[in-house]
Structure 1
């Protein structure tokens, strides 16, 4: 937690909430890292964050929407796309690939019966079965996270609102 606080300048409230159960905290972040920091597949870090934003908006989770919109802004260098997805992903300035990715994520989030048609729509845009698995596991993991945030009435840290929108203030020790 100290590393995250030092790197970001604040400690996200999710860390405080999950520290209630240290064993589960470690398992949560081990799985988070396995899903979000992998170097294989056709999903960028920005793609992964956009999946979380869409899933969390679908699940009405303010904490995850605000926090992961901030991360999407940072990774994508796009200050508005996550906001558009939150309001209406069908009207957002997404390319066809992103639409296919989020349509699949939302089908998983809504517990739709996933069919070969879902997978074929992904394949048209260069996603393979492993990518479908990644989209589905990110969606499912954050559906769980959304519910834990609801259970605990988790509020976004104020810092998330400006991340990726305003230049980051330099630490006084950086000169």
Structure 2
């Protein structure tokens, strides 16, 4: 396997494109077509390509496919969790996605630092509060913590999806932080 290193992307070696499986090559090509670049997460995690493809399949299902939450709500959860975890890669990249899906160039920056200052609508604030608690103090979460979510109109399918998205981003944040993954510069100007 040809390896390259680029400390501006990851603390671990990066695979050469010719060394990754065809499925990863297709994802990289599609990313170039849609975004104009390959997200660093797609390169850094592809060092272990089978694990990356399994992660991507679940991540894509939770974040990019139609579900019980809106795209903006899923990205809000991603930014809250990533901000709480101080995961630069995910806070920046999903902040760009939140700006895109919400049409609001300011709120995602506020959410990434302190969602309470973002003046979120009641439903979004309930999601943010739950995401923060599940991220910071999972041992203290009780079934009663779901009541505020139900109180703002979320059904149990939407609640489970929110929990799955929160869990996905806690895992992804830890991976990104552990390998010192840096966001692509392109994210900083997207949807501004």
TM-score, reference length from structure 2: 0.82
| Aligned with residue 16 of structure 1, among 43, 48, 51 | 43
User: Which consecutive aligned stretches of 4+ in structure 1 deviate over 6 angstroms post-superposition?
Assistant: none
Give SS of 2:118's match: coil
Task: Tell me the number of residue pairs that the alignment of Structure 1 and Structure 2 aligns.
Answer: 164
Provide closer, same or farther for how the CA distance between residues 148 and 122 of structure 1 changes in structure 2, counting only shifts above 3 A.
Answer: same
Select the structure that is richer in helix. Answer: 2
- Deviations 1:111-167 (Å, cap 9, x if unpaired)? 1433232111001111122212111111111111111111111111100000001xx
In the other structure, the counterpart of 2:179 is 152
Task: Say whether 1:162 aligns with 2:189.
Answer: yes
In the other structure, the counterpart of 1:77 is 103
TM-score, reference length from structure 1: 0.90
In the other structure, the counterpart of 2:112 is 86
Root-mean-square deviation (CA, aligned residues, Å) is 1.1
In the other structure, the counterpart of 2:60 is 33
CA distance in 2, matches of 1:69, 1:139: 15
In the other structure, the counterpart of 1:65 is 91
The Cα of 1:85 is off from its aligned counterpart by 0.9
Residue ranges of structure 1 left out of the alignment (5+ in a row): 166-175
In the other structure, the counterpart of 1:130 is 157
In the other structure, the counterpart of 1:109 is 135
CA distance in 1, matches of 2:180, 2:166: 20
